[in-house]
């Protein structure tokens, strides 16, 4: 178990580095023969690791008056409530965090009378849509653009690591 001074120091260093961080990428060559982009290079995201629920709880605890155990309680209850509504066919709108829903996966049939859920429903998938607002700019191209606030301040930097 970490003592509180060690955790506070880690969070301070981590938070300072977070604000200076950018999405890291490396360049990869398209090796799919027959592709119109064969031989060309594209940016591929380099993940920095995984942040655990405990790390999130500790960071929230350091940013406000709630204890990590309170945060854990609320997040676990949030999961149960979101799961309940999603499994009953609702889209869950978490405002700035986005929307969550469940959709059905199935195989196609020629005639709707042939469709049987026990045979043709192949599974479910979870859908996440970040909160966004359609651009008010004029022009056909701009009218299709959706601004996602979760991407505000996002920057990219090529990594030295390959």
Closest listed residue to residue 101, CA positions, set 112, 117, 86, 115? 86
Q: Is residue 143 part of a domain?
A: yes
Q: Once rounded to an integer, what is the mean pLDDT over residues 25-41?
A: 96
Q: Is residue 3 part of a domain?
A: no
Among 66-75, 93-102, 134-143, whose mean pLDDT is lowest?
Answer: 134-143
Compare 72 and 140 and report the one with higher pLDDT. 72
- Reading phi first (left if > 0) and then psi (alpha if -120 to 50, else beta), residue 19 is in alpha
98 CB-near residues (< 8 Å, 6+ apart): 128, 129, 130, 131, 150
Q: Is residue 94 part of a domain?
A: no
Q: Is residue 109 part of a domain?
A: yes
Query: So what's the pLDDT on residue 162?
Result: 57
Q: Once rounded to an integer, what is the mean pLDDT over residues 33-62?
A: 94
Q: Is residue 69 part of a domain?
A: no
CA distance 27 to 159: 9
Token readout for 103 is 């959709």
Distance of CA 89 to the CA centre of its chain: 21
The pLDDT confidence band at residue 135, using thresholds 50, 70 and 90, is confident
CA 9, 74, 65, 16 torsion: positive or negative? positive
Q: Is residue 118 part of a domain?
A: yes
Quote the domain boundaries for residue 120: 103-150
Tell me what the pLDDT averaged over the chain comes to. Answer: 87
Q: Is residue 54 part of a domain?
A: no
Compare 138 and 19 and report the one with higher pLDDT. 138
Report how many domains make up the chain: 1
On whether the CB atoms of residues 31 and 44 are closer than 8 A, the answer is no
């Amino acid at each position: 178990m970490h003592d509180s001074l060690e955790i506070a120091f880690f969070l301070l260093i981590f938070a300072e580095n977070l604000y200076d961080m950018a999405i890291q990428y490396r360049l990869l060559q398209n090796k799919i023969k027959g592709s119109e982009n064969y031989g060309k290079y594209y940016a591929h995201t380099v993940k920095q690791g995984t942040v655990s629920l405990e790390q999130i709880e500790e960071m929230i605890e350091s940013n406000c008056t709630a204890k990590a155990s309170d945060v854990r309680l609320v997040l676990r209850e949030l999961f149960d409530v979101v799961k309940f509504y999603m499994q009953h066919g609702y889209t869950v709108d978490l405002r700035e965090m986005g929307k969550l829903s469940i959709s059905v996966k199935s195989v196609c049939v020629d005639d709707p009378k042939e469709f049987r859920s026990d045979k043709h429903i192949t599974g479910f998938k979870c859908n996440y849509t970040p909160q966004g607002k359609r651009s008010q700019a004029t022009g056909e191209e701009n009218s299709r653009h959706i601004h996602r606030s979760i991407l505000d301040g996002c920057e990219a930097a090529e990594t030295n690591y390959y």
